[in-house]
Amino acid sequence: MELAVAMLLILLNLASWCVLSEGRLLVDMTLVSDASSIGAFCLDGSLPAYHLHRGFGAGASNWLLQFEGGGWCNDIQSCLDRAKTKHGSSLYMNKLEDFNGILSNDASLNPDFYNWNRVKLRYCDGGSFSGDAKFDNGTSVLYFRGQKIWEAMILDLLPKGLGNADKALLSGCSAGGLSSFLQCENFYRALPTNTSVKCLSDAGFFLDERDITLNYTMRTFFENLVSLQGIEKNLDKNCTSFLDNPKLCMFPQYFLNYMTTPFFILNTAYDVYQFHHALVPPSADMNGDWKRCKLSIASCTPQQLDILQGFRGDMLAALSSFLKDSTSGGMFINSCFAHCQSETQETWFALGSPSIQDKTIAGAVGDWYFSRNISKLIDCAYPCDASCHNIIAQVS
């Protein structure tokens, strides 16, 4: 009898495609089996994948899709290296993904989206789900098929219920947050006209900013990325036809005003990734003058803090028209030294999580999505916010 009960529990776990482990929700991976029919492959030629946890109750017909983040590769060698990792091949991906933060199924931890169908879209193309090219030198092959991967995932999810969604939210963090900007309009077009479609980017508002040596390090990186992965043809057409350098349309600040689908921008004004890789990249700090500041904000000199405050000012300037003119947009720009705040419970919605005017990130996003309140919040400058969960170790 006990054996039969144990076997039943195993079968129930398999049927629900998830397991609970010490209070954690671990969701199994699904390969997109038909992806090859449209040429959608990870860098190494393996099939793309996602994790789906079904909604229930009042949320059973609502969908939240979350792009995974994980940087980019913008040259052949870095992409060959990446193809041997979880961010370049489904062969190396963990088969169970921990769903928390905005993906949690606990109403006390994720009050507005806990009972939605929630999907984690795994990232294995190195180009923010936007490329369409292939490299083959006779010895090595790389598939830059992020755009095709996105299309294959949508085609796979539509008959599973996404095609009948009442409400839908496209989200993502870091490189996945950039994907949310890049694919938001396509997401809207893929769904029925009566579906309420909105998009959210977490730590995806990458600035076209000079570094401390006045070089455009991030611009050069993105230009190489766009060229290598064949991204330009998939960028916003209004933007590419307007700018002399269409590759700059990889930066959200240049196409944000052309977007019509309601959008929420969640970002720190002192984004740690951009601090370490765009504002003060290793190439601009050969003597290590910023090493202590990167490890601990308390160790920054007054001059270094002035530069960081300047970066915040540039970010707010790039967002000023969105703040003033967007009637359907939302924003939460806090003054923390962090990167990605929607995927971890401590920063999304928890006791002591970051807040602006006593509003948590989860609360601000929920207010915006459900039109409960105007939700455009900008924090005062560092160091005024005591609710921050600052990252003191350098991010890669």
Which pLDDT tens digit goes with each residue over 264-310? Answer: 999 999 999 999 999 999 999 999 999 999 999 999 999 999 999 99
Catalytic residue flag (residue 53):
no
Rg for the chain, CA atoms, rounded = 21
Site of tokens 């009566």: 194
Q: Is 339 a catalytic residue?
A: yes
CA distance 185 to 259: 7
Residue 5 scores a pLDDT above 60: no
Superfamily of the domain at 28-378: Alpha/Beta hydrolase fold, catalytic domain (3.40.50.1820)
Angle, nearest 10°, between helix axes 175-190 and 146-157? 50
Cβ count near 146 (within 10 Å) = 31
Which of 53, 87, 277, 339 is flagged as catalytic? 339
Per-residue pLDDT, averaged over 169-179, amounts to: 98
Return the percent helix, strand and coil in the chain, to nearest 5. Answer: 40, 20, 40
Q: What is the pLDDT of residues 309-354, one digit of tens each?
A: 999 999 999 999 999 999 999 999 999 999 999 999 999 999 999 9
Question: Which is catalytic among the residues 90, 130, 174, 335?
Answer: 174
DSSP code of residue 394: P
**Would the pLDDT of 2 be above 60?**
no
pLDDT for the residue 21: 52
| Helix extents (H) in 124-167 | 146-157
Beta strands, E only, 8-93 = 18-21, 24-31, 49-53, 62-67
- Type and span of the H or E element at 42: none
pLDDT confidence tier of residue 18, bands split at 50, 70 and 90: low
Question: What predicted TM-score, i.e. pTM, was given to this entire model?
Answer: 0.93
> Which is more confident, 305 or 393?
305
Map out the domains of the chain as residue ranges: 28-378
**pLDDT tens per residue across span 61-79:** 999 999 999 999 999 999 9
Q: Which band of pLDDT confidence, cut at 50, 70 and 90, is reported for residue 392?
A: low
- What pLDDT digit, counting tens, does each position of 106-138 carry? 999 999 999 999 999 999 999 999 999 999 999
What pLDDT, on the 0 to 100 scale, is given for residue 391? 74
Across the chain, which distance is largest between two alpha carbons, in Å? 73
174 is catalytic: yes
CA distance 275 to 281: 8
Q: Which of 271, 367, 379, 385 is catalytic?
A: 271
